[in-house]
Amino acid sequence: MGKFDIYNISLKGHQEDIRSFEFFLDNDFFKKIDGNEVQKGKLTVELTVKKSVTSHEFSFVINGAVLVPCDRCLDDVEILVETTEKLFVKLGKEYTEESDNIIVIPETEGEINLAWFIYEFVALCIPMKHVHGPGKCNKTMSSKLKKHSTKSDDDDDNSFEFEDVEEESDSSNNETDPRWDDLKKIIDNN
């Protein structure tokens, strides 16, 4: 028995129009799948498969939490996952991905393994920036980071200074680009 056989869903020979499945993902699942984004977590996956004449509609409801390294202190930070996803599966001659959510499976195989699809749905829920809330990071790592940071105490994470390039070019050179003049005329007319 393969490590992801429980995620195999047969597409042939079922009389029911709607079937339901439930999966539990834990640290063992993430360890075995060996993905880069998530290595720990506990989630439930509720799957409904609707059979139609031309395809199977897979509806996923995924809830739980995953642990990923904090971008600042590298300790685990918990990210809540709540998502619903759809995947449409057709039977055909060979395996192809027609789009992000339409898959063609060879008729000779007649089944699909959903382990990697589920992992991708979970990974897509993780924000680009994953950090602990204010004051929750590892104190030792935070102090080392602050010690080696080139940022002054007055700086804020979200504050940036932008130079007004147009003013600089106008002050050093009184000529303006005629294309900008034409665009300004269009705006003024509206």
Total number of domains constituting the chain: 1
Q: Domain range spanning residue 103?
A: 5-124
pLDDT tier at 28, thresholds 50, 70, 90: very high
DSSP-derived secondary structure letter, 133: P
pTM for the full predicted model: 0.71
pLDDT digit string, tens, across residues 117-167: 999 999 999 999 888 888 888 777 777 777 777 655 444 444 334 344 444
In the chain, the N- to C-terminal Cα span, in Å, equals 69
46 assigned to some structural domain: yes
147 assigned to some structural domain: no
153 assigned to some structural domain: no
